[in-house]
Structure formats: C-alpha cells, structure tokens
Structure 1
Amino acid sequence: MYLKQINIKKFRKYDDNNHIFLLAKGKSIKDEKENSKIDIASRTTLIIGKNNSGKSSLIEILNKVINGNFTENDFNYNYLKQWLEKYRKITNNEEKINFLTPTIEMDIIVSLDDAADDIIANLVDFIDIEDIGDNDIEIKVKNELDNTIEFKNKLDEILKENIFEKNNPEKDAVEIKNATEEYSKYIFNEFLNLISKSKFTINYYTKDDSKVKDFNLKKLLNLKCISTGNIIKNDSLTSAFSKIIRKMNQSEEKSNDLKKEIYNVNAGLYKKINDNYGNEFNKSISQANLSQKYKLEFISNLTLESLLRNVLKYEYSENENLIPETQFGSGYTNLMLIIAELTDYIYDYSASEKNSKINILTIEEPECFMHPQMQENLLKILANVLTDLVASKSKNINTQLLITTHSSHILNSKLQDDSGFDNIDYICTGKDSLKIVNLTNQKIMLESADSKKKSDDETNFKDFKFIKKHITYQASELFFADAAIFVEGITEYNLIKHRLLHEENDLKNYYITVFLVGGAHAYLYENLIKALKIPTVIITDNDFKLVSGDNEETQKYNRVTKDNIKNFECKNNTIKHFFNSNKPSDLINQENDIFDNIKIVYQKYYNDEVCPTSFEEALLLANKDNNEFLKVIKKLFPEKSKKILKNVVDYSTEFQNMIANSKTDFANEILFEQLSNKDFRLEFPKYIEKGLNFLMESLTGTENGK
C-alpha cells in the first residue's frame, strides 16, 4: 500500500479550499536490487514552488498530525478572519450553536494496490462493506476543539468588550474608521489567544464522516524527515556519523569485536600509565608516612560512547591530505549529511517484508549550498547511494520519496528522466491564496483534433519530446518565474532582456524570464503555461507569405500592404493554433488576443499602410526618425542601407531581407550602443509595448506601473 493523495485545508498558507497533492507510488526495492541501480525518479514526488510558497507546510502538517502539536499560528489567518466575521454577524442563538468552530483538516487517500504484501489491520475501521474491491481508502483528519460551547461563550465575552468605543465616545469619521480597524485587530488577537488557550484534539473520520476511535496516523505512517541547510556546528558530520556507528554496532558480531578492541586499549593504557607514572607517584605518597598504606591506580575508562563523542573526528581525504570537516565546502558537507541520514534510515527500516505501515522519506530543499552541477546530479547520486546501501541488506525497502525544492536544476533532472512531468506538484501562488497544480505528461501534451489517428499521436509525442528537450536548456525557470515572455528571434531576445534589466517601472521588481523558442513553436507550451498560471506573453512574427498574384517587387521582398494583404497567408503555427485562422485580413484586426493567462502579440499595420512581417522590420519603422538608431544601420551596412534610409517606410521590407543573415550582429550592435551611448534611445514596436503592458497589468493591476 502507499499514500496516494494528501488534501490540506486551513493550515498556514492553505485556506479552506481543496489543496490536493498527488504522490508517486512507492515501489519495492527488492526486485531492483538485482537490476543495476534503483530507480529514484519514478518513486519521487517533487514539490516545487517559489520561496515562501508553502512547500514545507506539506511535511509540517504530516509531522504535526503524527505528533499532535498544532498551535494557533498553524491556522490559516484568512480563514480565521472570515470565520470570525461570519460568527460576529450571527444573531440567532440556535444558528450560533450550530455554527462549526475552526478546524485544521487533512484528508488522505491510501491505495491498497500492493495489499498482497502488506497487513491492513490498521485500516479496517475505514473500510466500508460497500468498498470491498475498491483499492482507495479515505481517511479524514481534523484538529478540533474539545469543548465548542465553552469556546463560543468565551468568544462572546470578548466580543462584548469594545475598549475602543468606551474610551472614545465622540469621534469624527476618520477617528471612527481608525478605531474600527484597531478594534478589529484587537478582537482578532484576542481570538488567537483564545485558540491558543483552548484544548484541541486530532480526530479521525471515514469518508462518510463517521468518527473512528483509537486510531493515530502514527500507526499507519512511518515518516522520516531530512531537513537540510542546518550546517550550524563545526562537528555536524561527526555527530551524524557517530549516530550511524552506534546503529551499526548493534550487530552482535561487530559489537563484540569492538568491545574486545576497546578492552585491549584500556588494558594497554592501564599498564603503560601505571608503569610510567603511577609507580613513581605511589613512591612519593609512601614518603608521607601515613598511618594507612595507600596506593593509587590509574584506570583507562574508554567506552564506545566516549570514543564517538570525544575521540573520533571526521576528515576528508583530498590529494593525500586530510582536511578537517570545518574547512570543507558547505555543499559537500550538506550532501554528506543527507547520505548520513539515508544510511540511518536504511538501518532503522524494518527487516520484515510484510508490514502495516507506509514509509515516507522527505528531503526538504536539498539544494542548499550545492552548486548547479551537484543539484543537477542529485537524484542520480541518491540512486547510487541507496543502491549501495541496500545491496548487502536483506530488507524489502518500500518507500515513497518526497522532495521539496525551488531548484530549477533538480527539477530539470527530474524532467529529463523517463517519468518526465509525472509526479510533480507545483504550488501556484496568488495574492491571497494558492493552488496545487498536479502535473502529468498527458496534461502537458496538446491534444490532437482526432487523437485516434496514429499520425496525430506520433505528432503529439514528437511535440512532447521537443518540450522536454527544450526545458533542458532553459525553460525549467518557468516554474519559478513571476511572468514569462516567449520570443522566436535572437534580436528581440537580447533587446527585451536588456529592457527588462533597465526597466524604470514596477516590472523590474518581478522575476520575468525570457525564452528563445526558435521558430514559431511557442504554442506547444500552451498547456504548461496555463497549468502554471503565470502571466505570459508570446511575441511572434506574423509570417505573412505571398501565395498569389501581385507585382514583381512584392514577390521579391514579400511586402505586405493594405491593398495586397488578401494575396497573403499566415504561415505561423502559433498564430494559427490560437486564432484558428490563416487569413491575414482577419488576423490584422484581431483584438481578442488573450487566452486565459496568455497574450499573443505580433506585427500589424504601421500607420495604416504597410504591415511588417518581422521584429527587425517593425523595429526599423518604430525608429525611422531615430538618428542614433539609423547610425547603427549605416555602420553595419554602409552601402546597402543608403537606398533604404532615404525612405524607411517604402523600403522597410528590403531592410528585413538585407539583415536576414546578420541578425545577431544587428542585435549586438544595438546593445553596444545602449550600454555605451547615454543619448541612445530605442523605441519598441507597438505590439511589443502591448505585451509588456499586459504583464504590468497582470502583475501589478496597473498599466505602465502607474
């Protein structure tokens, strides 16, 4: 059996809505011990999110339910404020009596998929006769008040006492408003104090809300938590590995061998100390002419405990030098501590193949102090360590691994595994609430119009492989960004990144990641972007291509104007995917360009006459009167640009063709001017500005940061 699902309500950042985590299935290592290395990724659930998003709270609530130590600060404050506001409005006594008091709730689902190897006696009370044959068992956990009547009576007394009203009988409107706010704060603090003084009990219920007595989650879950980043002492490794040696010494054979060695050391020290120092000291005592004869013996009392605590020290061997642990890097020390905890976990693991507990191993933010390469290889390192640890043990290790992280490198290593997006729970944070997004490979893949066709399935699979491969290079940052911009060309990529770094409005306060997709492939990310719910702008070229008629110049330069636009067709897959059209005449006037959290922007008419088809052409038109910008073009193309710069609007399409093979040089030259010339100002095309304004409004609620 394994823990399939955890639903948290009213705990810390989690309000009274459902917040469901889906966990990777635990697998027996017994069969894997004979097959090279243990598959860590398939049994690992990755909990990812930004800093302070609530990742650790999942581990904390499991700990608190098992150990029963909730406090008033564990409640979700927004939930408590809403509860208090509703309670204060109740005037009917019967309604007040029936009004449910504050609780913290956690619902879990246990799957009996592997029931043949486990004892399920602990779950009998949660199984209904009608559920026989159903592999999923639901357990509801509630942290509840013992005496709800007493709690409400005390709360009513608090609500009656309005100290601000008594002290301020006459007030103007501002004073009344301030007094009301102060009173609300006072009442809420008193409410929290009342909760802290009240007795709560953790109760368990079936899916039908029938109370189950004499049950504790500790009977079902064996939880081991590895908390990293706590390297605060110089002897962290000494303490960790001393603990392991104590466990290893529990073996009778090893214990006897070590006892014999310690006995021999004590005997040898006894003889040498007494021969060298004791006899001489006793000779001096004999000269005191005491009435009784005294003789002192020096005893060596070395024990395993004193050996571990005071004698043994851990050092690293590097290039034949022994380096004290205090001088070694924090990243490696942190990794050694994780390995030490894993070793301790394996030694503590029950040797029985049949057990009645679900084993959960959690590692909290293992990336602390580690450099990117170590983070990238962490899952492989853990697999190697576990493989070696269980190789010589006659134990059937069946454990679910849960890792919380905000490392894009650890995430990327998980994504590149065969399991891909499966078993990733992403915490999406909003202003006042958060939501859990359970990612799967199927959810990220775009569905074909007719998924039954083999060709469509193959296309979907190729698209999915493209996303996975592309994420290797960059896109895992998307999970930790406040917003995202997708571009398809190197020019816009470089210039937009530079603008964001030097933005003078509120956008500079957010982490906005820019993705160079390369070609019009941004539509493949639609499901991922929508799942992550971060505001995203896709900046793409309209790719209007001539398909019929028109004159020689149009055919040569692909020049789009208001008069000939009917002869063109849109070849951009992203635009066609979102707008379901390839007609430029429809797309040029399209205003409905927002799809949930995604805005699509591309080139449209300039001055109602010509329509650029690339970012470079649109940039030229936007800066046609910008002398500093035009100097860059003259510098790069001294001869070819003469004709174009005489009439930018008429020859903008020729400019696009002229720089087709020099876009990187063009972008770099503009960047150089921006960095070195204080008078250089760059105007961005209108469609780019619209995209950035969308991000501003989405992130701050204002346009242009105003």
Structure 2
Amino acid sequence: MKIKQLKVRNFRLLDNMVLNIEEDITLIVGKNNTGKTSMFEAINIFVKTQEISFEDFSQSTYFIFNRLLRLINQVDFNSISERRKEIVEKVIQNQMPKVQLFIEVEYDVTNDSLINLSEFITDLDENRNDATILISYESNNSLSLLFSFLNREKQEISLIRWLKDNIKAFYQTKCFAVDKDSDFKKDIDLSFKSKIEKIVSFEDIKASRTLDDTKSDKNKTLATGFSHYYRERDQTKEDIKKLEETLTNVSIVLKGEYEKVLKDVISDLNNFGVSTPITIPQIEIDSEFNSESVIKNNIKYYYKHESINLPESYNGLGYSNLIFMVLELTSFIERFKNSSEEKKSEFLTILIEEPEAHMHPQMQQVFIKQITKKINKAREEGINIQLIITTHSSHIIAEAGIDLDKGFDRIRYFNKIDGRLEISDFNNFRHKESDKETFRFLKQYLNLHKCDIFFADKVIMVEGVTEKMLLPIMINNVANSLNNEYISILEVGGAYTQKFKELLHFIKVKTLIITDIDSVDGNGEECKTDFANAETCNSTLKDWIPKKNTIDELINCNEEEKFDTEFIRVAFQIAEHSNTYVGRSLEESIINKNLIFFKSEYTKDAINKKVKSLFTLINQHSSENLLIKTPWDLRPKSSSSKTNFSFDLMTFDEKETGLNWEVPLYIKEGLEWLAGICMVNISEK
C-alpha cells in the first residue's frame, strides 16, 4: 500500500497542486517561493492536530469571496421563489472556497489488508486498486456567512478583513471518501484523523531543525536524537529490561541516601507552623529514574578525536544535522515496527525538508546514500515506506534523482509562471524514449556538473570558459538586478547546447543562450563575418534557434526569430550601433566594440611608465602597427591566449587608468531581456 498522488487546493501558494508520489523516494525541487514548504504544511495541518486560519487560504480565493458577495447583493430574497432561493443557495455553497487535501492511496489486492482502508473504497470494480481520502475545510452555511458580513457592526471593514477574524465561526474540517472518476462522495465521521492514521503514518523532519555548536551545548542534539530512538525501541527486549531494573535499584539506594542527607531540613519543614493556624503538608522524598530522561540528560555524548574525547557541542553543525536526521528517521521506523496492532498503520510516509542544511556536498551525498539504504532495508523487512524530500541540493539530486534505471523519474520540479504554480513530473519527460543518446548525455552532464538548473531562477548557457569568466562583470555593467537572483551558468559548448532543448521546454525556466556566430568559408575554414557567402558552423544556430545557415541571414534576424517559446532566447553577434562590422567570436566582438579602449595609452605602475595600449600587455602586438590592425587581426586565437584575454579584462583597473570597456551589444540585449529590462512579445512557434 502506498500514496499514489497528493492534491492540494486553495492552500497558500497551492491553488491546485497535483503531485504524483514515487513508491520509494520523491524529490521536490525548484526555485524559492514555489510552494514546496506549503505542501508539507498542508499535510501536517490536515492530518495532524493543527488548525487552519484564514491566512492559509490562497489569495486567488479572495476574488471568489468577493464575487459571491456581489452575487448575493444582486438577489432580492424577499421577492424570489423558494425554488430560486434554493438554486442560489446551492450555487453559493458549491462555489464558496474550500481548502482541501486529497490523498490517493494505491493498494495491492493480493498482499495488502484492506480492513482500515475499506471505509474509503468507493467502487466495486475489481480492476481498480485505488481509494481517495478528501479532507476539506469548508463552510457550514455560506448564506449565513455572507449575511453575517452584510449585517456587521463596523460597515467600513472589507469582506477579506472580516473573514480573517470570523472564518472559524462558519467553517469546519470535514472528511470524505471520494471516487476520482465520478462525483460520488461519502461522509466520514469526525474521528477521521484516527482512521487516516490507521492507513498512513506521516512523520516529518522540518528545515528549521534546532542545532547547536556552541560551548554551552544547550540543545543537546545527539542526546535528543538518541532519547527519541530509545523511546521507540522494542521495550520487551532483554537489554531494555536490564537497564530498567538497574535504574530501579539505583532509585532505591538513592532514596535512602537522600533521606540521610536531607533529614534535618525535612524535619524542620515538617515542624514548621506547629501550634499555629498554618499547616504545612508533610514532605516525603523519593528517587525516580526515567530511562529516556537519563539517556537525554544524564548520559554525555562525545566525539572521538585522535586520543581525546570532545563534547558534542565541539562538532560542526553539519555532522550534528546528519546524525540527528539519521536518528530521527531510524526512530520513525522503530516506532512503526513496534506499534501495537490497534495503533499500527498500513504504511509510513516521511517528509524531510531541506536535509542539506549545514552539510557540505560530500556529506549531502553520504546522507542520501545512507537514507536510501535504510529505506531499502526497511522495505525488505516488509515495511511499506515512502520518503518525500524537498531540497535545493544538486548533490542529493545527482545521487537519488538521476538514477541509471529510473532516469529523472523521482524529480518533481516546482515552478511559478505568471503567479501560477506548475509542477513538471519527470515521468512525463518522454524525450528519454524518443532520443536515448541525448537523454544519456543529460544524465551524465547533470550528474557530474550542474543539477542546480533545477533550483535556478534563471539560466545562462555559454560555450566556454571565456564567457563564464566575464559574465559577472557584464551582468554588473548592464543588468545588475540579476545579482539579486539565482542564476545557473552552464558551460556546455556550442555543439551540445541543443541537447538541453527538451529539458528547457519541460521545466520552462527562463534561459539565455550566449553563443558565437562562428563564420566559415566554403571549405569550412574560419573566416571574417563579411566574407562572401560565409556560413555558420554553429549547430545551435543552424538546427535550433533561429535555424539559419548563412551569416547574412543571421545578422538580419529580427527579434522574434531569436526565441523558442517565451522562455528561451539566443544571443549571437550583431552589428554595433556605431560599427557595421560583426565579430565572429566573443573576444573579437569585445575588441570590435572597444577599439578605442584597446588602442588607448595609459599610465602604468608607480614610476609613470607609458604603455602604448592594453594589447602590448595581453596580445604582445607591436605598438608601431597596432593602430592599423582590425579586430580580426587582434583577436586571441589559441585557448591559452583566450584565457589570458579574459583574465586581463577581469583584473584591469578601470579606476586607476580612467578607461573602461563596454559589453558587446548582443550580450547586452540578451542580459537585459533575462533581467526583464526589455520586454518582448513572442508568439508560439
């Protein structure tokens, strides 16, 4: 038995979330503020004992509340028929916003016991093996709610403000068994939470874990973790019995010693108030040892470091976090195994929020490896267990989300587009079937390098190291607002860029592709862009965006042709405003844009030694013929000279020299689009 799907409606950012759950591990990824934490909160609030407040309603419901208020204001209930009143009342009741959680459970008819689930099974079809639990926070009487607002004491208060204070008087949490293929719905009584707990036990480890690496060691992370584990162990085992007997004997001995030490003061207290109207109750002392309390407060935990033992607080937060989560997860499994039959659930679902906190990359991989082993072992022992993790860790995705057999199937990508949540389920990423070579490349590339594409606000794809090194300077100069966002910069090479096409389409993350126009002559040799009949050898430009072959066609592309959907834009060399020549590469384009800069004289070092130009430093051109050379002549040609070119530009001191260089126009326009500085309306291709 397992959870097949979760749905959340009208809860915070989750207007209508549908999330398919894997049978072992499901990874929830995506940029910040896309509803990942809200999903966990919805489960905890509905399934456990917390209450919903009006702040939990999604903002999209505000419009519906106000629309229903306008509707009721348009109806004269004194003049319409009873039949009409019933229709209006039904419409308002059905449309009144509800906050809901759907839990779809899938079962195995042959191996699973259906005793606890039977009340939620709504069909008689022997070919089906699903049941859906609906927990709904909804109004008892919608008309009464709206009329109460209309008759409110303070007429200046708006409906939304009034609901914030009064929603609980008109709403309650209900539970239903529903049929996902029809409108059938059956009421479940108010004891529904205990009935759900008999089916699935939800446990969670929150992101805001209280950890401590200070000398005072107030939180005692290890002690807390071990005491939780001890509490959930099988208390009938022989070692547990021996520990309890030892503590009982110690208590008896200590009671006698306490009585000796405290005899005089107790006698004084018992005699206090004698012969007065005030009577002091007689005081007795006892010694009690609770084994769990002893493990938490009495036992001291140390880390072995060479020849000495260091206190728990001397360990880093990363290790404390790792150990604490492993202990918590083990405790959950022990509690599930050792539950009595009347309290035992059919299966266990554990929610872990951002486990990577405080852990360096290698430790993150160790964590997910060990957790995966622990889950697999529990499943081998007959425990149905599912793990749902929200994460911003590329290493956790690489270890658990990109599997040789399952591919990306464990990944659920949360993205917010125009204020609306979209979830990309990688089980639907069918490119893995249509182009296995590309899919294999993506698995290898993302596994080894850049899984952070799944967490980025925006993506920039570049060909090589030169662009990657200079991009931070360019962003600062022309699109500084991008520094406030998480930008994933992928160095992929021109030949491989289009292998990301289907992935970028699938996750719909705003992406700028910066590539070179790469002009070649009829023999395939590099040539200037103004060479007659020059073509491009760049596969991205030829086969993806904008699907043009000749340099003339590329230079004359309009803005719309540089897009693939509204999310992906390509940027390649174009003519500068004051210069019709177009560079072939990034380096040539920078030189072409900044000829005056590169050929200018400036003062170098403390002894005022004159240096003819920057190129006498970075390209070793003789200063005598420098002024007649073109960008094509001046461009660095080898890989090492291109790298040196980038380093020299990065370290050039503009303040000291009074000179500065400008970003080529094609990159400037691309970065401005990515930052939202210039908006372009793009129709679907």
Q: Same fold (TM over 0.5)?
A: yes
Unaligned stretches of 5+ residues in structure 2? 78-84, 212-217, 266-282, 602-612
Matches within 5 A, 1:35-434: 43-67=24-48, 69-90=50-71, 91-92=74-75, 94=85, 96-97=88-89, 98-99=91-92, 100-112=95-107, 114-124=108-118, 126-127=120-121, 129=123, 131-158=125-152, 162-163=155-156, 186-204=158-176, 205-207=178-180, 208-214=182-188, 216=192, 217-231=196-210, 233-248=218-233, 250-265=235-250, 301-302=288-289, 304=291, 307-308=294-295, 310-350=297-337, 357-385=346-374, 395-418=381-404, 419-430=406-417, 432-434=419-421
Relative to structure 1, the CA distance from residue 352 to residue 115 in structure 2 (aligned partners, 3 Å threshold; closer, same or farther) is: farther
Tell me the amino acid that sits aligned with residue 412 of structure 2: D
Does 2:503 match 1:528?
Answer: yes
2:138 and 2:464 map into 1 onto residues whose CA distance is: 57
Deviation at 1:378, TM superposition (A): 1.8
Deviation at 1:444, TM superposition (A): 5.7
Relative to structure 1, the CA distance from residue 385 to residue 124 in structure 2 (aligned partners, 3 Å threshold; closer, same or farther) is: closer
Worse overlay, 49-58 or 353-362: 353-362
Relative to structure 1, the CA distance from residue 124 to residue 150 in structure 2 (aligned partners, 3 Å threshold; closer, same or farther) is: same
1:466 to 441, 450, 454: 441
Tell me the amino acid that sits aligned with residue 79 of structure 1: S
What per-residue deviation string (whole Å, max 9, x for no partner) do you get for residues 577-621 of structure 1? 233343334333222111120001112346785443211112211
Residue 273 of structure 2 corresponds to none
Deviation at 1:535, TM superposition (A): 1.7
1:264 and 1:667 map into 2 onto residues whose CA distance is: 76
Please state whether the residue corresponding to 1:231 is helix, strand or coil: coil
What per-residue deviation string (whole Å, max 9, x for no partner) do you get for residues 510-546 of structure 1? 2223222133322111222233322211011122321
Deviation at 1:84, TM superposition (A): 2.3
Instruction: Note if contact 2:481-2:675 (Cα within 8 Å) is conserved in structure 1.
Output: yes
What per-residue deviation string (whole Å, max 9, x for no partner) do you get for residues 326-349 of structure 1? 332222222221122122112112
1:306 and 1:110 map into 2 onto residues whose CA distance is: 38
Residue 618 of structure 2 corresponds to 636
Instruction: Note if contact 1:262-1:302 (Cα within 8 Å) is conserved in structure 2.
Output: yes
Residue 693 of structure 1 corresponds to 672
What per-residue deviation string (whole Å, max 9, x for no partner) do you get for residues 35-88 of structure 1? xxxxxxxx2111123333321221221222223644223533422321122123
Instruction: Note if contact 1:353-1:396 (Cα within 8 Å) is conserved in structure 2.
Output: no
Relative to structure 1, the CA distance from residue 538 to residue 151 in structure 2 (aligned partners, 3 Å threshold; closer, same or farther) is: same
Please state whether the residue corresponding to 1:520 is helix, strand or coil: coil
1:415 and 1:125 map into 2 onto residues whose CA distance is: 35
What per-residue deviation string (whole Å, max 9, x for no partner) do you get for residues 191-223 of structure 1? 222213324122313222322233633342211
Q: Percent identity?
A: 26
1:642 and 1:540 map into 2 onto residues whose CA distance is: 34
Relative to structure 1, the CA distance from residue 400 to residue 674 in structure 2 (aligned partners, 3 Å threshold; closer, same or farther) is: farther
Deviation at 1:485, TM superposition (A): 1.2
Tell me the amino acid that sits aligned with residue 595 of structure 1: D
1:676 and 1:437 map into 2 onto residues whose CA distance is: 48
Does 2:664 match 1:680?
Answer: no
Matches within 5 A, 1:422-571: 422-430=409-417, 432-440=419-427, 442-443=429-430, 445=432, 451=434, 460-501=435-476, 505-547=480-522, 558-561=527-530, 564=532, 566-571=533-538
Q: CA RMSD in A?
A: 3.7
The structure 1 segments of at least 4 consecutive aligned residues displaced by more than 6 Å after TM superposition are 270-274, 276-281, 296-299, 351-356, 698-702
1:226 and 1:45 map into 2 onto residues whose CA distance is: 15
Higher relative contact order by CA 8 Å / sep ≥ 6: 1 or 2? 1
Unaligned stretches of 5+ residues in structure 1? 26-42, 164-182, 282-295, 452-459, 549-554
Tell me the amino acid that sits aligned with residue 623 of structure 1: N
2:623 and 2:542 map into 1 onto residues whose CA distance is: 31
Residue 655 of structure 1 corresponds to 634
Please state whether the residue corresponding to 1:19 is helix, strand or coil: strand
Worse overlay, 376-385 or 303-312: 303-312
Tell me the amino acid that sits aligned with residue 632 of structure 2: T
1:578 to 545, 551, 555: 545
Instruction: Note if contact 1:87-1:96 (Cα within 8 Å) is conserved in structure 2.
Output: no
What per-residue deviation string (whole Å, max 9, x for no partner) do you get for residues 437-477 of structure 1? 222484465x7xxx5xxxxxxxx333223223332454222
Deviation at 1:567, TM superposition (A): 4.8
2:427 and 2:340 map into 1 onto residues whose CA distance is: 31
Deviation at 1:660, TM superposition (A): 5.3
Relative to structure 1, the CA distance from residue 134 to residue 200 in structure 2 (aligned partners, 3 Å threshold; closer, same or farther) is: same
Instruction: Note if contact 1:146-1:200 (Cα within 8 Å) is conserved in structure 2.
Output: yes
Relative to structure 1, the CA distance from residue 213 to residue 66 in structure 2 (aligned partners, 3 Å threshold; closer, same or farther) is: same
More helix by share: 1
Paired residue total: 620
With the length of structure 1 as denominator, give the TM-score of the two structures.
Answer: 0.78
2:140 and 2:264 map into 1 onto residues whose CA distance is: 73
Deviation at 1:434, TM superposition (A): 2.2
Deviation at 1:433, TM superposition (A): 3.0
1:677 and 1:441 map into 2 onto residues whose CA distance is: 56
Instruction: Note if contact 1:443-1:527 (Cα within 8 Å) is conserved in structure 2.
Output: no
Residue 628 of structure 2 corresponds to 646
1:104 and 1:610 map into 2 onto residues whose CA distance is: 61
